[in-house]
Amino acid sequence: MTADELKALQIGKLVDARGTACPGPLLEAKRTIAECPVGAVMEVQSSDDGTIIDVQRWCKKMGYEYLGDREDDGFWSVYLRRVK
């Protein structure tokens, strides 16, 4: 997905983990995915660019659909869909 497509997605759950370092973003993603309705999109915001690969791998293992990532103003947003 392009950055514009990602930005236009309707977000079911937003995780703002910008203030936390590793393993904060992954931990917050793990905690919030439980509250995310199946089929909805979750956005994880992080100021640590390691989160991009971390969340990609985590999605693959946990069975979530990784949609993409984009750089925002000093942080990164990664998008995934809870498919199950």
Partner 1 sequence: MSENSTEQLLQDLMKRVEALEAKAPEDRLALGVMSGNLDQTIAAFIIAIGAAAYDMQVDMFFTFWATAALRDPRKTASKDMLGKMFGMMLPKGAGQLPLSKMQMLGMGPQMIKYVMKKHGAKSLEELMKDAASLGVKIYVCTMSMDLMGIKREELIDYPHMEYVGVGTFVDIFSKAKQCWFM
Which residue is associated with the tokens 């809870």? 82
By CB under 8 A, tell whether 16 contacts partner 1: no
CB of 3 to partner 1, least distance (A): 25
Residue 19 or 74 having the CB closest to partner 1: 19
Q: Which stretch binds partner 1 (CB under 8 A): 7-15, 23-31, 37-45, 73-81?
A: 23-31
By CB under 8 A, tell whether 62 contacts partner 1: yes
Cβ burial of 36 (10 Å; 0-12, 13-18, 19+) is buried
- Of positions 42, 45, 58, 64, contacts partner 1 by CB under 8 A: 58
Contact predicate 75/51, CB 8 Å = no
User: Among all residues, which ones are annotated catalytic?
Assistant: 22
